[in-house]
Amino acid sequence: MARAYSQDLRDRVIDAALSKGTPARHAAARFGIGIATAIRWVRQARESGNRAPLRQGQPRRGKLDAHRDYILGLVAARPDITISEMLECLAVERAVRAGRATLWTFLDRCGLTFKKSRHTQPSRIGRIS
């Protein structure tokens, strides 16, 4: 993960853009940072007055973590339930909309994966008699 810029650099870029009237693009070139970064910093300072960096990284919890008991109850009641049926139950009974990948990841984190119980018969098409 990339390191955050220092607060001192952030303050100098914002001061150059706000107090001296320099466009954020020129401040970015002057201080050797990305144009989008400078524009974002200046916009944040103008709109909220906040010069501190925002939190980095992914959220700690998923949207389905609050419904863990309900989802695991669905699987316990009907072990052959499909992901589509689980998504439908969540939408109807809990008013939660989630994607297939979100539910799949949640089930994987819970240790629920689909495992075949028996081996399939080998194909006879490729055999030479």
The domain total for the chain is: 2
The verdict on 44 and 74 lying in the same domain is no
114 inside domain: no
The verdict on 75 and 104 lying in the same domain is yes
Say whether pLDDT at 103 is over 80: yes
pLDDT of residue 20: 84
25 inside domain: yes
Comparing 83 with 124, the larger pLDDT belongs to 83
56 inside domain: no
The verdict on 12 and 42 lying in the same domain is yes
* The two structure tokens encoding residue 37: 């970064």
pLDDT of residue 3: 77
Say whether pLDDT at 122 is over 80: no
19 inside domain: yes
128 inside domain: no
60 inside domain: no
Domain that includes residue 103, residue range: 65-109
The verdict on 69 and 44 lying in the same domain is no
pLDDT of residue 126: 62
24 inside domain: yes
Work out the pLDDT band at 58, boundaries 50, 70, 90: confident
121 inside domain: no
The verdict on 99 and 74 lying in the same domain is yes
